[in-house]
């Protein structure tokens, strides 16, 4: 099954007991906005998970702006919401799927495969007259047991190693390990930076803006289109994906896997972690 589901697919299964719908709406700089939107209206049966309170851990000196949550704490939160290891989870947001993809990635990291993203998000769901409500469901607690998959991650030391071995190049063809920067091109080049203290990118990285993996309606492009999009990357290469804080990298991870890449790993701390180390080099132009 695809990693995404359509609105009509979800509508037909809206009240199936083995399913939990998760509202992941969140606005950077307005931390209360997502929950307030959820309380005002949401897809029937949906519960809410907050990007910073639930899907991240507190910010420290290193680890980036959205450090990964403690696996056991997240498992306990999921259990409290009635999510168990047999649950099917459908996540949505209103931010082109980036927060929903964070949950998608985290659940895979915890060893849970039955998780999907609603194409188009909440606004298109509502615009097409699908049902919404302000009723918050009462959930019977379940038991979610985490089975952490450490191979899905890389740390800053691994990124340093890959960066040091990457010669400035116009092409990723033939490289055995590749760094992918998921941010907008202006941020990649260091021409603008509104979120982090330093501008630029990790030396040797290639820029694949995460939104270019999607169609205008918020659905992901087909596997064939994504294969063309990532065509300069070798299928056998180790692909390390990062962004500003490890959130918008997740849609790129999903797109790469949909395109058939199987050795895709996340640098969760991403750019905001990289620049927290004084000795790390910074590039401010395309190699």
CATH number, residue 49: 3.40.250.10
Per-residue model confidence (pLDDT) at position 3 = 95
Which pLDDT does position 175 carry in this prediction?
A: 84
Pair (115, 171) in one structural domain: no
Residue the block writes with tokens 């949505």? 92
Catalytic residue among 101, 243, 268, 275: 243
- 41 is in which domain, residue-wise? 4-148
State residue 170's pLDDT score: 66
Residue 245 lies in a domain: yes
> Domain total for the chain?
2
Same domain, 123 and 158: no
179 and 243 in a single domain? The answer is yes
Collapsed DSSP state (helix, strand, coil) of residue 52: coil
Active site residue 250: no
The predicted structure's pLDDT at residue 90: 98
Q: Which residues contact 53 (CB under 8 A, 6 or more apart)?
A: none
pLDDT, one tens digit per residue, over 106-155 is 999 999 999 999 999 999 999 999 999 999 999 999 999 999 999 999 99
pLDDT at 23: 98
pLDDT at 229: 97
Alpha-carbon span 154 to 259, nearest angstrom: 21
Whether 179 and 259 share a structural domain? yes
pLDDT attached to residue 174:
79
Answer yes or no: is 114 within a domain. yes
* DSSP states of 103-170: HHHHHHHTT---EEEETTHHHHHHHTT---B-PPPP-----------GGGEE-HHHHHHHHHT----S
Residues 155-168: tens digit of each pLDDT:
999 999 999 988 76
User: CA-to-CA distance for 3 and 193, rounded, in angstroms?
Assistant: 31
Would you call 85 helix, strand, or coil by DSSP?
coil
Residues 171 and 135 in one domain: no
Please identify every stretch of the chain with a pLDDT value under 70, giving residue numbers as ranges.
1, 168-170, 286-287
In the prediction, which pLDDT does 168 show?
A: 65
Q: Are residues 231 and 103 in the same domain?
A: no
Identify whether 79 is part of a domain. yes
């Amino acid at each position: 099954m695809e990693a995404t589901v359509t609105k009509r697919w979800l509508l037909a299964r809206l009240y199936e007991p083995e399913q939990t719908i998760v509202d992941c709406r969140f606005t950077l700089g307005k931390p209360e906005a997502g929950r307030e939107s959820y309380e005002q209206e949401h897809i029937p049966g949906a519960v809410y998970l907050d990007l910073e309170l639930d899907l991240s851990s507190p910010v420290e000196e290193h680890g980036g702006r959205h450090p990964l949550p403690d696996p056991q704490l997240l498992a306990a939160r999921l259990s409290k919401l009635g999510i168990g290891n047999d649950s099917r989870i459908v996540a949505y947001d209103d931010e082109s799927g980036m927060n929903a993809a964070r949950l998608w990635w985290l659940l895979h990291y915890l060893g849970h495969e039955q998780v999907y993203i609603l194409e188009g998000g909440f606004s298109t769901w509502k615009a097409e007259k699908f049902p919404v409500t302000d009723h918050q469901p009462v959930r019977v607690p379940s038991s979610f047991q985490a089975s952490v998959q450490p191979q899905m991650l890389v740390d800053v030391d691994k990124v340093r190693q890959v960066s040091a071995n990457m010669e400035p190049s116009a092409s990723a063809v033939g490289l055995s390990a590749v760094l992918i920067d998921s941010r907008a091109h202006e941020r990649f080049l260091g021409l603008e930076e509104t979120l982090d203290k330093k501008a630029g990118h990790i030396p040797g990285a290639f820029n694949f803006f995460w939104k270019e993996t999607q169609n205008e309606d918020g659905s992901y492009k087909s596997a064939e289109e994504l294969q063309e999009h990532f065509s300069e990357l070798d299928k056998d290469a180790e692909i390390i994906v990062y962004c500003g804080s490890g959130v918008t990298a997740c849609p790129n991870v999903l797109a790469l896997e949909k395109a058939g890449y199987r050795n895709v790993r996340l640098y969760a701390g991403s750019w905001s972690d990289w620049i927290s180390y004084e000795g790390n080099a910074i590039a401010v132009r395309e190699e």
